[in-house]
Structure 1
């Protein structure tokens, strides 16, 4: 059962998700525009939204805050009565929902102060379960949001036993491995779209952001930085006899980095949505900071954001906070400290040699057809 490291410890997701927070900041203008357009077109008395793959930590409620404040600005300009908000937070059962719920009272208090006295009630619900199955009643959701989640597959693809020395699609992976990963992505993403099409109201919106690639070759996806460096650390332990080779060769990450064409093909195949926007954006992993000013980059197919002055950002810990539960399940806890010490050294060396290590993200804005 996939989940990130919970709690507030040194290797927790809550304390090592600056990259994911930056992605939300970069793309929130698209989500805000989509939800505000829905409100202006329909002027509902309540809005129901769901965040899929919400995780835990400050990122969880960040997009909710952005969206509510933006809709409230539109409502007040139109002199409409206060809205009721229903917010569903979804992730797998192992997610640290307790940390999310504990933060809700102070979050709502701050939100009410920022918006003002005529702020309507907000109802929060936790929804544990995979977003590759139905989660909500038919025609019940106005807006879906998901960030940094849909690159995770429902399972490790079948038929990749020959992916020796790799934990993902690598430069030495046989062609059949890349094909198996793509087939699993097609199956999962198509099912995701089918489920959300049932749950969205007519004219409802969905904004999704996931790790992607601009190359059509999946072995040149940028996954090198994300997973091949971790695979290299694991292989050094295999070479020294610390980890059994057979055990290492049987471990693969349930993750796929799609191209824009691959994403669009599944949207067209499913047929329930109008594709409003599909764009790639790039974050320089060497330098990550929070940008306070949001800009509209929709005219550019590829955004190059140079994020400077953050030498203290630990990308290795970011990966550990996400991947460690999977690794513990397969290898046990005994090797984790040593594995991530080696991984951190490899990441630091790679960052020193490469002027630009980038993470490509795909953002998709969809509307359910009337």
Structure 2
């Protein structure tokens, strides 16, 4: 499967869109916002640039990206007032894969600029915003053109499904599972780990060439607590999806062979694995690592399981349709998914782990 061509969050602003189902990501970003703002302010104190280059990698199509950019601009404005420095201009690059719904982001730009100007007696800063389609597993920008890079809930997505999950006949060695599970052979977790190493190293190398010396990155990424890949965290959500797809097979909605060769391009790294890769690649100093457990807020009358199901659907819909075809009944699939999550939560908590990293280019 060509991930770069197929994978994208559900576009638009409808009921199943990412824009309507990304409150978990927004809550996480808000919880960690103080660290992001401290980082951009520290960076601004250290550089003397008249023009700040900022990139959001994996911006997606919802409102979260421009909300973050607004916070960054206002944080720099506050630093300028305190230090009596002139306000820089901002070059903002919004990046995601080519199939991302960039138009839904651009349509909100008038509101974005209006909100920035609101209640201001002084001139509004010059902000130049552009879309930058392409995979961040490789070069995106010219040398030394960026000062700050932000990426939220993107780097756990691999560049591709690990090729070594399949034998010489193209058969999956992880049949019946979409990710690492208790029934997976040890070679499955090794395949995912090797792919993460390759991708994360390439990401760091590429960004080191695009950032100025002393430039910063704030990366928010799903992960896991310890050595074990199978836990009641992020991997468990994929276990539930495997079960729901198995129900679809039993009901004759999808073919078992299709399920056997459906694997997600996802990896929940541990803190040690992340730190090891940063040290091994060698371009960055890891200034800060924080771990968070983000609890999902739900709307009135909506169960936790339903809320999670809608979020996972907004993320996986493009991949599921591409693999199983338009005949797959996603309404039924994710109805089952939501019910299973609620049943599991009644037994024991599910606690997905998020890491925040602050890196400085050496």
Return the TM-score normalized by structure 1: 0.90
Residue pair 2:232, 2:352 contacting (<8 A) in 1 also: no
**Structure 2 match to 1:262:** 273
1:332 lines up with 2:325 in the alignment: yes
1:316 lines up with 2:295 in the alignment: no
For residue 117 of structure 1, report the CA deviation from its aligned partner. 2.0
Residue pair 2:230, 2:236 contacting (<8 A) in 1 also: no
**Structure 2 match to 1:346:** 340
Gaps of 5+ in 2: 1-5, 166-171
Matches within 5 A, 1:1-370: 1-160=6-165, 161-220=172-231, 222-285=233-296, 287=297, 311=303, 314-335=307-328, 336-354=330-348, 356-369=349-362
In structure 1, distance between residues paired with 2:88 and 2:94: 19
Residue pair 1:221, 1:257 contacting (<8 A) in 2 also: no
Residue pair 1:48, 1:85 contacting (<8 A) in 2 also: yes
In structure 2, distance between residues paired with 1:37 and 1:74: 9
Return the TM-score normalized by structure 2: 0.92
Aligned residues: 349
Residue pair 1:212, 1:221 contacting (<8 A) in 2 also: no
For residue 230 of structure 1, report the CA deviation from its aligned partner. 1.0
Query: Equivalent residue of 1:323, what SS?
Result: helix
Residue pair 2:298, 2:307 contacting (<8 A) in 1 also: no
Distance 1:309 1:234, change over 3 A: closer
Residue pair 1:167, 1:253 contacting (<8 A) in 2 also: yes
Deviations 1:264-318 (A, max 9, x none): 1110011011110112111134x469xxxxxxxxxxxxxxxxxx99857711100
For residue 221 of structure 1, report the CA deviation from its aligned partner. 6.5
Query: Equivalent residue of 2:92, what SS?
Result: strand
Gaps of 5+ in 1: 290-307
Distance 1:116 1:173, change over 3 A: farther
**Structure 2 match to 1:295:** none
**Structure 2 match to 1:297:** none
Query: Equivalent residue of 1:219, what SS?
Result: coil
In structure 2, distance between residues paired with 1:59 and 1:275: 25
